[in-house]
Structure 1
């Protein structure tokens, strides 16, 4: 699971062009939105597309069920693991 979390962190940095952030700067339990990493709804859409492309999973940021999976890197890793 830790390796998958590291991959997701790298994907977040790459797809959102977060130039000043390293994989080690992101805590797997940290909130991705709001006071955590500070992502916004546009970031959610871009991240959702990147996750679909890489892991063949579909997330809808407007759907309450999908939204809980966007809570943290750890919750995304759990979803990917359960989907495969």
Structure 2
């Protein structure tokens, strides 16, 4: 499934969270641990609810299999 890139300026909170997650993963090619990714997203916008962030991160690989993968448990990396 090839999804369009999420928009950081979207009115949808989940789309903004996904865009933030993809940007952070791009900035950290070595990958980010689940807890670090969650924390960094929450810090980027205090209006994001922690449970919404958690759900979006949990579904990243499912929603963007052409952009994100988990080489090991709890580690997220951006695909080239």
When normalised by structure 1's length, the TM-score is 0.32
Larger helix proportion of the pair: 1
How does the TM-score come out when normalised to structure 2? Answer: 0.33
Bigger proportion of residues as strand: 2
